[in-house]
Amino acid sequence: MKSKEYLTIARGDGTPQARPAAPPAAAAKPAPAAEAKAAEFKHIGKSTARVDGREIVTGRAKYTHDIKLRGMLIGKILRSPRAAAEVVSIDLAPALAVPGVLAALKLAEGKVRYAGQQVAAVAAVDEPTAEKALALVKVEYKLLPFVVDWEKARDASAPQVRDGKPNVEKFNEYARGDVEKGFAEADVVIERTYRTGFETHHPTETHGSVATWEGDHLIVYDSTQGVHGVRDGLARALKLPAANVTVIKNYMGGGFGSKLSTGEYSVVAARLARETGRPVKVLLSRRDNAVCVGYRPSSHQTYKVGAKKDGTITAFSLLNFASGGIAAGDEVSEPVVDVYKCPNCKVEEHTVFTNVGAQRAMRAPGHTQGAFGLESVMEELAAALDMDPLELRRKNYSTKNLGDTGLPYSSKGLDRCYELGAKAIGWERRNPKPGGGSATGPWRRGLGMASSIWFGAGSPGTLADLVLYPDGSVEVVCGTQDIGCGTRTHMAVVAAETLGLEPKDITIKLGNSDYPWAPISGGSLTTPSVAPAVRDAAVKAVERLKAVAAARLKVDAGDIVMDGRKFASKSDPAKSATFAEVYRDLRRETVFHGERGGMPMDQFAFNTFGAHFAEVEVNTKTGQVRVLKYAAAQDSGQIVNKLTAESQVVGGVTQGLSAGLFEERVMDDATGNVVNPNLRDYKIATSLDIPEIEIMFADVVDPRINNLGTKGLGEPARVPASPAVANAVYNAIGVHVREIPMTPKRVLEALKRKESGS
Ligand code: MOS
């Protein structure tokens, strides 16, 4: 996926576009003022337990999988076992003849292009009946040649995945300066190739929808990262007015990018429900999760980098081949373009099409792969220069700042992360020579680090309403969704902070496309979009309440103190009013509309920053890697809820270590199927594989980003994890593994390469 497309998705799809933001104030206040203000917060930036924690741990929270409606049918989808075929015929009659089957649909015509593509569907009274019927659907395929191995697909003689189009397509190029001149100026030039494999999302809750019709209005409960986008997608697919579609998502067991768009299964559920006149539930299986709802595309990144003896980087070039099946891969070049300030940089990226299901965005798409390549080559460059890799980064990190103000907030954030992380891991313990560290038997120890940037300052135009009730209760309504990150809690924290209440006093409504617009919960957008919108609504409510109380008490609004649900005059404490009195004076004006204003999404300060540090132990006999200690420092601006922010970092680091060491989806070239479409054969890290993680936040708050100066965190915490570990492995054994996952086999191969000196 191209990052520009990604930002378009993030901004919304057929929904209010970002309104033109006010230009950054020319003489903006320096950060210390904002930092001082942050210290005054009672709830914001502190640790607040999830307001819905009790619901979740007691099993009362209703996930899409838990939805049961009266008369609900079970829908099942038949998928192609063939990677490429002409669908000659589909006979639904035997399936429809099964008692208890109420509807069947043909879903494929013409060609199927990957194993797992949907072909037919049935709706039946229960799951066994649906399964039985599905097995009876007769499909005649005419087999066609296919290719699932992306390296074979590059060959000109390989079967064409897309009719009449080559399998390899250049999809990105970029250049600044003059790389040839830059390499000529360098004292040291190295060229290295790094690979990242296919990583599957595997959220705990698989994809799924429950669809029901009320007259001509469609209601879909969906396990999604974007209720508004799915509403629009369903409306288009079913040719309905968007106003006649409501998408609801109360709780979700993870998505990681695989649930950003409208699912084919959601459309199937809606069609089956329309045909049968009954609610229909379609849940995907664990296998489906591995074959038809995406994965992180692979990458094959060749970097050439030149530097002067003192570490000044003079030129970078990157040639990448990415593979995302029948969809384009990810651009991985943003890190090399943005993280370091090298004046000469050239990028060329190609995507390789294969007969494999389409990739989907996965937690920091592109950056995650790109950071592995870039941060690895930085490590190897440091070794070639005989320089400390942290110093090499400090010397070169981008100091692009915000507009022309000359205030390098962004750079300050990254620098602070370097400082915090290095201190936490004990960087001074690092042995300066790769492979020269301490050893216990076959085990070698090493330290490594990696830096990262990622977008994440939120979507301008996000809306939230704050509603006051006569009894003093407060509701905050926003059409965002909580995908497991604690959105309800941060909304309650911000409203409570602003109104002088406690988070538990606030009723949160979200996860419904009928509510005010918010972007997808992806792109690390949720908190920096929603929290400022809630803040804006709450500030407006407080201002209005104070003005009305002041009129009642015949004092200036500035003289009013709002304490919990009481109003009093500062100058004359005898003058006070109850919430009920002030509420009456509000008349009907009890809904306050908030919006996330602030900077547009394309400013450099929009970025979040991070630096991760790892200590590992590598067994030179078995190739096993153990991560012993980990330190993660993030700059996400103002942290809204420290507890859930730390959870994001734990999750991101865990996923990064898991992908770095274990996870890889394997394709069978003979049949075109996924070899390991389950959680037994696809290895994911468990808690026993994860070390102590020390988490730090750089308190660098730029108040111009949005009214809280808050930035995202979900994806940033994922980006530097795999390269930090790879670099620690390099430091331990003196050879870079250059491919993730760093399985024992690959570690041993790398050690052999070292012995043979190649
Ligand atoms: Mo993320 S890959 O935008 O869920």
For 614-633, write each residue's pLDDT tens digit.
999 999 999 999 999 999 99
CB atoms inside a 10 Å sphere around CB 483: 27
Our answer on whether the CB atom of 225 is closer than 6 Å to any ligand 1 atom is yes
Give the pLDDT score at 405. Answer: 45
Ligand 1 in reach of 647 Cβ (< 6 A) = no
Identity at 218, one-letter amino acid code: L
Task: Report pLDDT for 33.
Answer: 43
pLDDT of 404 over the 70 cut: no
- Which ligand 1 atom sits nearest the alpha carbon of residue 360? 2
User: What is the pairing mode between strands 110-112 and 566-569?
Assistant: unpaired
Can you say how many angstroms the Cα of residue 213 is from the centroid of all Cα atoms in its chain?
32
Q: How far apart are CA 712 and CA 367, in angstroms?
A: 15
DSSP 360-412: ---SSTTHHHHHHHHHHHHHHHHHHHT--HHHHHHHHB----STTS---HHHH
Distance from residue 361's CA to the centre of ligand 1 (Å): 6
Tokens matching residue 520: 């997808």
408 or 328, greater pLDDT: 328
Candidates 5, 8, 334, 363: which one to mutate for ligand 1, based on the most atoms within 8 Å of Cβ?
363
Confirm or reject: Cβ of 361 under 6 Å from ligand 1: yes
159: its two tokens = 């079967």
365 lines ligand 1 (CB under 6 A): yes
Q: Strand order of the sheet with strand 608-619?
A: 439-440, 443-454, 608-619, 625-635, 692-697
Q: What is the dihedral of CA 203, 73, 128, 265, to 10 degrees?
A: -40
Q: Which of 19-28, 131-140, 522-531, 534-543 has the lowest mean pLDDT?
A: 19-28
Residue 79 reports pLDDT greater than 80: yes
Residue 246 to residue 433: CA distance in whole angstroms: 60
- Do residues 309 and 300 touch, judged by C-beta distance below 8 A? no
What would the two tokens of residue 261 be?
A: 């768009």
Q: 3-class SS at 458?
A: coil
Which among 715, 718, 719 is the best mutation to test ligand 1's pocket, defined by most ligand atoms within 8 Å of the CB? 715
Q: List 280's β-bridge partners, or say none.
A: 73, 211
Instruction: Give the burial string for 18-40 (b: 16+ CB within 10 Å, else e).
Output: beebeebeeebeebeebeeebee
Instruction: For ligand 1, say whether the CB of 677 is within 6 Å of any of its atoms.
Output: no
Average pLDDT over residues 462-482: 96
Judge if the beta carbon of residue 224 lies within 6 A of ligand 1. Answer: no
- Which residue, by CA, sits nearest to atom 4 of ligand 1? 257
- Give percent above pLDDT 90 in the chain: 86
The model's confidence at residue 400, banded by pLDDT at 50, 70 and 90, is low
Query: What residue type is 681 in one-letter code?
Result: D
- pLDDT over 90 (residue 605): no
Where helices occur in 555-621 by DSSP H, the ranges are 579-586
Task: Supply the residue whose CA is at minimum distance from atom 3 of ligand 1.
Answer: 522
d(CA 606, CA 617): 36
Q: Is the CB of 523 under 6 A from ligand 1?
A: yes
Q: Is the dihedral of CA 746, 752, 755, 757 positive or negative?
A: negative
Instruction: Give the chain's mean pLDDT.
Output: 92
pLDDT for residue 602: 61
Q: What is the mean pLDDT of residues 549-560?
A: 96
Distance CA 596, CA 74 (A): 41
Paired tokens of 477: 């309504």
Residue 607 tokens read as 């970025």
Q: How many residues make up the chain in this entry? A: 758
- What's the whole-number mean pLDDT along residues 294-301? 98
The pLDDT of 344-364, averaged and rounded, is 98
CA dihedral in degrees (507, 508, 512, 518; nearest 10)? 140
Average pLDDT over residues 293-303: 98
Report residue 162: phi and psi, to 5°: -110, 130
Tell if the pTM clears 0.75, that is, is over it: yes
Share of the chain above pLDDT 70, in %: 92
Q: Is the pLDDT of residue 258 over 60?
A: yes
Q: Is 718 in the pocket of ligand 1 (CB under 6 A)?
A: no
525 Cα to the center of ligand 1, angstroms = 9
Going from the Cα of 406 to the center of ligand 1, the distance in angstroms, rounded, reads: 32
CB-CB contact of 297 with 331 (8 Å): no
- First-last CA distance in the chain: 35
* CB of 297 sitting under 6 A from ligand 1: no
Does the CB atom of residue 256 touch ligand 1 within 6 A? yes
CA 735 – CA 756 distance, rounded (Å): 12
> Could you tell me if 271 and 240 are in contact, meaning their C-beta atoms sit under 8 angstroms apart?
no
CA distance 375 to 303: 11
**For residue 345, what are the CA distances in angstroms to 185, 371, 385, 709, 758?**
14, 16, 20, 31, 27
Token pair 């994806």 in the structure block, residue: 715
259 CB near ligand 1 (under 6 Å): no
